[in-house]
């Protein structure tokens, strides 16, 4: 067992930790995106990104059909 543990690498130094939005922050982003001339479109896009985990480039390449 010790030989297996010795193969495990240590914590990487200098690696950025990703910070995720809290559910309340997501709600505020969606509310803020719903304003303006294209608010409905923007809000729908933001909701789609959060619910599906799509990258923006993936979401923008979606087509009908």
Report how far residue 29's alpha carbon sits from residue 26's, in angstroms, rounded to the nearest whole number.
5
CA distances from 14 to 11, 18, 45 (A): 10, 13, 33
Arithmetic mean of pLDDT, 12-35: 86
Residue 53: pLDDT above 70?
yes
Q: What is the pTM of this model?
A: 0.61
Report how far residue 21's alpha carbon sits from residue 51's, in angstroms, rounded to the nearest whole number.
13
């Amino acid at each position: 067992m010790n030989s297996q543990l010795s193969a495990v690498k240590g914590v990487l130094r200098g690696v950025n930790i990703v910070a995720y939005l809290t559910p309340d922050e997501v709600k505020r982003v969606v509310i803020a995106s719903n304003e303006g001339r294209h608010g409905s479109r923007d809000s729908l896009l933001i909701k789609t990104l959060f619910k599906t985990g799509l990258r923006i480039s993936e979401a923008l390449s979606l087509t009908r059909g």
